[in-house]
Structure 1
Amino acid sequence: MNKSRNAALKSHYKLNPPAMGVYIIRNLATGKSLLALSNNLDGAINRQRFELKLGTHRNAALLADWKRHGEASFNFAILDTVAPSVDPAFDADAEMAALLALHADSLARPLPSCY
């Protein structure tokens, strides 16, 4: 790869931070859900899916249901994103925590069955 292409790719990466926000993993067979937040939504969903396929997921109940019902019974979705801000007072973690609480309330009070 030449230096100008490498510099262009690096610049593109710096100007386009990964999406951050709230995502959900739904078990369509049982109705259980895992609601979570991340500073890198695509990376987090990819990690969750990879750990489940590998059989090393940290949530034993979710992994057991994955093995029992199979990948086709699960849905991974991004519920909401937080736009990056140049304001130094902006707290992305607090914003994501507020979104997580909002979505937890909107799904059900409390979540009927969650991991």
Structure 2
Amino acid sequence: MEKAKRKELAYNYAHSHRLMGAYRIVNIENGKSFVGSTLNLEGVWNKHKFMLDINSHTEKALQEDWNKFGEAGFRFEILEQIKPDEDFVENVSDLAKYRKKLPDLEKKWLGELSPFGERGYHKQR
């Protein structure tokens, strides 16, 4: 691939919209869930898998189940996406605006799914 084309592809990727919103990791063996939110829904599953694969996830109960069941025992689901404004450019100020929406979105899904105790990997608040 020519250098100019690679540079164009890299630029387009860096300036493209990433899917943002809430997600959950579901243990298909026991039904427990882990709920989170992110500015990069496409990358967060890889981040979690990496941490779990190297046995360093911060959620110890999730880590224990991953060690027991492996990746095949889990699925990743997008719960809700944040739709960007039409003039979204993905610069620092745009991302800060969307980052502020994430805690409320995550709180909403924690309330709806109640992934606490036997139902999930979160500690009761």
Gaps in structure 1 of 5+ consecutive residues = none
Specify the code of the residue in structure 1 equivalent to 2:103.
Answer: A
Per the alignment, in what secondary structure is the counterpart of residue 18 of structure 2?
coil
Q: Which region of structure 1 is more displaced relative to structure 2, 58-67 or 3-12?
A: 3-12
Residue 45 (structure 2) aligns with: 45
Shift of 1:80: 1.3
Residue range with higher mean Cα deviation, 67-76 or 80-89:
80-89
With over 3 angstroms needed to count, the CA separation of the structure-2 counterparts of 1:13 and 1:65, relative to structure 1, is same
| Cα RMSD for the two superposed structures | 2.4
Match of 2:98 among 92, 99, 104: 92
C-alpha distance 3-68 of structure 1, shift in aligned 2 (>3 A): closer
Q: Letter of the aligned partner of 1:28 in structure 2?
A: I
Deviations 1:77-106 (A, max 9, x none): 111111233376882123222222222222
**1:3-82 equivalence runs, <5 A:** 3-82=3-82
The aligned counterpart of 1:106 is: 112
Report the TM-score when normalising by structure 1.
0.80
Name the % identity: 31
Partner Cα distance (2:21, 2:47) in 1: 15
3-state SS of paired residue (1:56): coil
Which stretch of structure 1 is more off in the superposition, 47-56 or 11-20?
Answer: 11-20
**1:53 counterpart letter in structure 2:** D
- SS of 2:30's partner is coil
Gap regions ≥5 residues in structure 2: none
Post-superposition CA distance 1:43-77 (Å, at most 9, x none): 11101012212222222111111112232221111
Pairwise CA distance, 1:23: 0.9
Partner of 1:83: 83
